[in-house]
A and B are shown apart, each in its own frame.
Chain A
Amino acid sequence: MDWFYELWPKLGEAFRGWLESALPDSIEGWVIYLVLGLLSMLVIVNLPIVGVMAMIYMERRLLGRFQNRLGPNRVGPFGILQPVADAIKIMTKEDIVPNGVDRIVFNIAPIVMLTPILLMFAVIPYGGDTFLTNLNVGILFIVAITAVDTIAIFMAGWSSNNKYALFGAMRAVAQLVSYEIPLLIAILGVVVITGTMNLNEIVAHQSSLPLILFQPLGFVIFFVAISAELNRSPFDLLEADSEIIAGFHTEYSGMKFGMFQLAEFAALMGYSAVIATLYLSGWEGPGLPGYLWLFVKVFFIFGIFVWTRATLPRLRIDQVMALAWKFLLPLSFLNVAITAVEVVVWENGLPEWLIPVNIVIGAGLVAIMHRGLNFQGQTRQVVPSGPERLAAINRPVGGGTE
């Protein structure tokens, strides 16, 4: 069973042994290192691509169930080959470049969009010894590299020579830049507790209790901010289909469009893994090996994203901005301040009785700030239908029910 728990390091070791024996002795050590490195990169790059196919299937099936319909179930057993069919379709589709676009920027934008997302998977720990690089500023690297996506979205929107795309790009810049701030400051809470930005060490710190228990408020802020960063409902303004058709990728077709979709879902997967790593103790878990635990958590978080998407209507751009600046940003500062005080007071690790206290503090702060946001305005009953009226309407009528 050992190989099952240590699958990827063992595979790497086995391959290195095979390479060393198969290649002549005159080959220097760095060549083997290079080959191994390239191979690991291949695995890491293909991981999000395969994962995205699973996520697309999962999203479509789950949405189908949420919406009282079946979802794709024709291609393969239970429709599991549907993402394959989608991929084939999108790759063989005609790649249309409309007149009047800025060709260079138009063609580069999907690449700029996808590349940082793939880089993100390099630093995520999939198990005790399973990671590509052990970067000491891992979480900072992830946030910094994915921020490049804002530029890619603006490039796509601006170069498309389409007004809807331009609207999407304008919204993207405003929204994504705004939400990056509460996102980073929410992460600071975790960094203050663990004292490191290294994702491996952050996971190691959570081997007994996941950090969500000590950082409930930080988790909520992070989750909301990341929904906005990933253009998920209710913040999917960049590609609000009922308003601006498809937003920044309105004019894209074929594989370029596919790359935008791929980047979007891969970012979702990557950030779900980041949420799992920061707050839900990453790959740690009983029974299953680390890499499987991580994906269980990733798909659980993804399920929550699908759920919100199926349920909530969309916010307006000014409400989205107000939420970022008036609600999340002060809350995230308060979160960091409270966390810092706690860390200073209990130097040798936070006591467990802080968990309920933190949850109460977080809920209280959210309630207070929510009142300040004044989202709802005054409540009033517009069309009253009293209990007698409802009773009259709901009264069953007789005759031949069976």
Chain B
Amino acid sequence: MVKTNGDAKLTLKTEEVMVNIGPQHPSTHGVFRMRVTFDGEVVTELEPIFGYLHRGSEKLAEERTYTQVITLTDRLDYLASMSNNLAYVLAAEKLAGIQPPERAMYIRVIMAELMRIASHCMGLGFFINDLGALATPLMYMFREREKILDLFELVCGARITFSYMRIGGVSGDLPEEFMPALVKFINEMPGYIDEYEALLRENEILISRTKDIAILTAEKAINASVTGPMLRASGVPWDLRKSDPYEVYDRFDFDIPVGSTGDTYDRFLVRLEEMRESVLIVKQAMEQIPSGPFRALAPALIHPPVGEAYAHVEAPKGELGFYLVSDNSIAPYRCKIRAPSFINLTVLRDLIIGWKLADLVVIFGSFDINMGEVDR
């Protein structure tokens, strides 16, 4: 009989694998990079690396006049330029003490809510794409986004970088064709949302891939100052349109969809429901919109008094804030942007560690970040 050593065991040598996901990867939504360590398929360590799209927007803003800075804000979250415009002009108006006319405020609200629908379309579409659904829902969502972009093209001629809002109003009044086109779209849109829901909500594969995956608790979300649909999916009813109403949001009746567990499925559903609420807001705004001037009388070059102002809006991705400091010149002395995508990424590592490679892209997709905003 062969004498065996009791301690000797058959051991397979295993090794953790370090993989660079990004900056060029199909599902990093731009040029995001994650340095991920895998044990087999399981993520054991993750380090996000930013900055591949850094353009120095904040510094550039110090060399531009207050009006010119609007064009820089277009390029932050390029899927939601109208919301960026809105946040910036609110900050500048606060700084200069300019009150926009009523009609302008309604136009801005309509634009911001349409922008939210378009942005959520993209967020959900790419999220489903990360799940591996080969672009079919994405293409349907592109169809609606296209219609919204057509509407924007009517009012300002641009389709991505609008620069439509101005300090004290908007750049031009709504054209005659706009309202009929908007009525047509806004009456169709709920049907389209039902279509997405019918395709996706009860899909067993989608549910098994997202339900109870990467739960973000309310406490952790608040501690990491996560905002937007991610925070609401965790069950915190925090929406700046309700909790700190700007423009004319306090005149509308709408709900804040909240999730219950904060898993990936909740983040998906909250966005889906928010599109419905946005439709509702636009409908009310269309009925209430007064006639009158679309822009306050403000000089082209404003010299705000020395001081500082912070304004924030509920952008599609979360709380987008602009902090402006004036030294009474034609350009801001300092412009700080609170980018929701960037701050939401705080919890990325905590959420992903322990899940598998396939979950990694799905969880990351459920963040709905935009690199233009993360890197600024």
Residues of A within 8 A of B (CB): 63, 66-69, 163-164, 166-167, 170, 233-234, 236-237, 240-245, 309-319, 375-377, 380, 382-383, 385, 389-390, 392-402
Q: Are B258 and A383 in contact (CB under 8 A)?
A: yes
How far is B136's CA from A392's CA once the two chains are assembled, in angstroms? 29
Known: A375-B204, A383-B257, A393-B276. A315 touches B209 (CB 8 A): yes
Q: Are B208 and A242 in contact (CB under 8 A)?
A: no
Task: For B132, give its contact among A67, A163, A236 (CB under 8 Å).
Answer: A236
Residues from chain A with Cβ under 8 Å of B208 in the complex: 315, 319, 375-377
Residues from chain B with Cβ under 8 Å of A243 in the complex: 27, 132, 357-358, 360-361
17 examples of A-B residue contacts, CB within 8 angstroms: A67-B135, A69-B139, A236-B132, A242-B26, A242-B129, A242-B132, A309-B134, A311-B133, A319-B209, A377-B207, A382-B259, A383-B259, A385-B276, A393-B276, A397-B187, A398-B183, A399-B179
Which positions 140-198 of chain B face chain A at CB distance < 8 Å? 140, 143, 179-180, 183-184, 186-187, 190-191
How far is B276's CA from A377's CA once the two chains are assembled, in angstroms? 27
Residues from chain A with Cβ under 8 Å of B139 in the complex: 67-69
Residues from chain B with Cβ under 8 Å of A167 in the complex: 41, 357
Residue on B nearest A163 in the bound complex, by CB = B19
How close is A311's CB to chain B, nearest CB, in angstroms? 6
* In the complex, the 4 A-B pairs of residues with the closest C-beta atoms, listed nearest first: A314-B132, A400-B180, A313-B131, A67-B139
B interface size (C-beta, 8 A): 62
Residues from chain B with Cβ under 8 Å of A318 in the complex: 356
Residue on A nearest B268 in the bound complex, by CB = A382
Task: For B27, give its contact among A242, A383, A397 (CB under 8 Å).
Answer: A242
Residue on B nearest A396 in the bound complex, by CB = B187
Residue on B nearest A171 in the bound complex, by CB = B41
Residue on B nearest A237 in the bound complex, by CB = B358
Q: Are B190 and A313 in contact (CB under 8 A)?
A: no
Q: Are B279 and A393 in contact (CB under 8 A)?
A: yes
How far is B143's CA from A319's CA once the two chains are assembled, in angstroms? 32
Q: Are B41 and A317 in contact (CB under 8 A)?
A: yes
Q: Are B205 and A314 in contact (CB under 8 A)?
A: yes
Which positions 1-49 of chain B face chain A at CB distance < 8 Å? 17, 19, 25-27, 40-41
Q: Are A397 and B286 in contact (CB under 8 A)?
A: yes
Task: Check if B283 is an interface residue, CB within 8 A of chain A.
Answer: yes
How close is B252's CB to chain A, nearest CB, in angstroms? 12
How close is B122's CB to chain A, nearest CB, in angstroms? 15
Residues from chain B with Cβ under 8 Å of A310 in the complex: 134, 136
How close is B319's CB to chain A, nearest CB, in angstroms? 20
How close is A380's CB to chain B, nearest CB, in angstroms? 7
How close is B141's CB to chain A, nearest CB, in angstroms? 10
Residues from chain A with Cβ under 8 Å of B40 in the complex: 170
Residue on B nearest A399 in the bound complex, by CB = B183
Q: Are A245 and B205 in contact (CB under 8 A)?
A: no
How close is B34's CB to chain A, nearest CB, in angstroms? 13
Residues from chain A with Cβ under 8 Å of B226 in the complex: none
How far is B52's CA from A85's CA once the two chains are assembled, in angstroms? 36
Residue on A nearest B207 in the bound complex, by CB = A376
Task: Check if B329 is an interface residue, CB within 8 A of chain A.
Answer: no
Contact bitstring B265-301, A, C-beta under 8 A = 1, else 0: 1100110110011011001001100000000000000
Residues from chain B with Cβ under 8 Å of A317 in the complex: 41, 356, 358
Task: Check if B212 is an interface residue, CB within 8 A of chain A.
Answer: yes
Task: Check if B130 is an interface residue, CB within 8 A of chain A.
Answer: yes
With A313-B132, A383-B266 known, 18 other A-B pairs at CB within 8 A are A67-B140, A242-B131, A242-B361, A243-B357, A310-B136, A314-B133, A315-B205, A316-B356, A317-B41, A318-B356, A382-B261, A383-B272, A393-B276, A393-B277, A399-B180, A399-B183, A399-B286, A400-B180
Residues from chain A with Cβ under 8 Å of B131 in the complex: 242, 313-314
Task: Check if B260 is an interface residue, CB within 8 A of chain A.
Answer: yes
Task: Check if B255 is an interface residue, CB within 8 A of chain A.
Answer: yes
Known: A164-B19, A382-B265. A400 touches B209 (CB 8 A): no
Q: Are B356 and A380 in contact (CB under 8 A)?
A: no
Q: Are A313 and B258 in contact (CB under 8 A)?
A: no
Task: Check if B211 is an interface residue, CB within 8 A of chain A.
Answer: yes
How close is A312's CB to chain B, nearest CB, in angstroms? 6
Task: Check if B231 is an interface residue, CB within 8 A of chain A.
Answer: no
Residue of A170, A241, A380, A398 ringed by the most chain B CB atoms within 10 A: A241
Residue on B nearest A167 in the bound complex, by CB = B357
Q: Are A245 and B25 in contact (CB under 8 A)?
A: yes
Q: Are B205 and A313 in contact (CB under 8 A)?
A: yes
Which positions 187-245 of chain B face chain A at CB distance < 8 Å? 187, 190-191, 199, 203-209, 211-212
How close is A16's CB to chain B, nearest CB, in angstroms? 48
Task: Check if B359 is an interface residue, CB within 8 A of chain A.
Answer: yes
Task: Check if B128 is an interface residue, CB within 8 A of chain A.
Answer: yes
Residues from chain B with Cβ under 8 Å of A398 in the complex: 183
Task: For A397, give its contact among B129, B261, B283 (CB under 8 Å).
Answer: B283
Q: Are A400 and B258 in contact (CB under 8 A)?
A: no
Task: For A234, give its contact among B143, B180, B184, B205 (CB under 8 Å).
Answer: B205
Task: For A401, give its contact among B41, B187, B359 (CB under 8 Å).
Answer: B187
How close is B28's CB to chain A, nearest CB, in angstroms? 10
